[in-house]
Amino acid sequence: MNLLPLLFYVAAGVAYGLHFTKRSPRAGRMATASLAGAVLVHTFVIGMQTMELGRLPFVGASGIISAFVWLLAVAYLYTEVSTDERAMGVFIVPLLVVLQAASALGDRVIVPAPVLDSPLLAVHVMSVLFAYAGFALACVVGITYVLLFRELKAKQLGFFAARLPSLQVLDAMNGRAVGIGWLFLTAGLAVGAVWLFQLHPDTPDPRVRAMSLFDPKIFVVSLSWLVYSFELYARRAIGWNGKRAAWLSALGFSIVLLNLVPVGYFLTESHNF
């Protein structure tokens, strides 16, 4: 079922590409409408899977990636509608397409293990996914900052300068996205730790028993938390904003992607329910 949202995200990506190159208000409205349609279709698919399982289908690597794509699309669409700024769409939507394609490759509904039936775990998963969506926005904004910075530094105002917001606006957007993502990630990790400690120490599920800092999934997400913590500290304490903050955002999200796809699919012993 994840293939259907993928087709709509591809169509939205084409529309955003036309808007970015043509700079046409009509193409921009079509791009926004296309993404809204993709979000509606994705919401319908998640709703159908929820009815099939009797709970949200945010289990397994494919389900987690699909949920992340949906949350990122919703977050970006809200940002776009509230600011009437569509320039970021040409960078965001291709990421949605790639990740949704990865989810569609393993498209199957996984029946959750009984150990996952906990409100705390649901809060943990949603908080971490919200954090990842914030970090994705920060990464894309950071990349566009670097592209615009290089164009301005070369004193060759052209393609990006005509299409992107100012450096100050991009830097502020990056800082807000990282700050919100860090808050959600911190909360998600804390709630996940509480859920784990509440389980019986002799639980028979080997995946729960494998949950420790040495599991690749938990180690990598902890590493990403450290990177974003340093970025927030560096921005406030030693003035690392602008291009340095942009590169840190890109580094942090590359770690997040590492955790979502290769680690989530192949390396973890604890998060493969």
pLDDT of residue 218: 86
pLDDT of residue 12: 94
Contact 163, 87 (CB under 8 A): yes
Cα–Cα distance, 232 to 123 (Å, whole number): 24
- Where the chain has pLDDT below 50, the residues are 273
**Measured CA distances, 73 to 9, 70, 95, 188, 268 (Å):** 9, 5, 10, 20, 26
**Measured CA distances, 140 to 21, 35, 74, 143, 247 (Å):** 18, 17, 15, 5, 11
Q: What is the pLDDT of residues 132-166, one digit of tens each?
A: 999 999 999 999 899 888 888 877 766 677 778 88
Q: Please give the helix or strand (H or E) that residue 163 lies within, else none.
A: none
Domain ranges of the chain: 1-112, 115-273
Give the global pTM: 0.82
In terms of C-beta density within 10 A (0-12 exposed, 13-18 middle, 19 or more buried), how is residue 123 classed? middle
Q: What is the pLDDT of residues 91-140, one digit of tens each?
A: 999 999 998 998 887 655 555 566 666 778 888 888 999 999 999 999 99
- What is the DSSP code string of 24-43? -HHHHHHHHHHHHHHHHHHH
CA geometry: angle at 210 spanning 209 and 216, to 5°? Answer: 160
Q: Please give the helix or strand (H or E) that residue 125 lies within, else none.
A: helix 119-153
Cα–Cα distance, 181 to 66 (Å, whole number): 18
Mean per-residue pLDDT over the chain, rounded:
84
- Closest alpha carbon to 272 in 221, 215, 191: 215
pLDDT of residue 242: 92
pLDDT of residue 262: 73
Q: How far is CA 135 from the centre of its chain?
A: 6
CB neighbours of residue 195 within 10 Å:
20
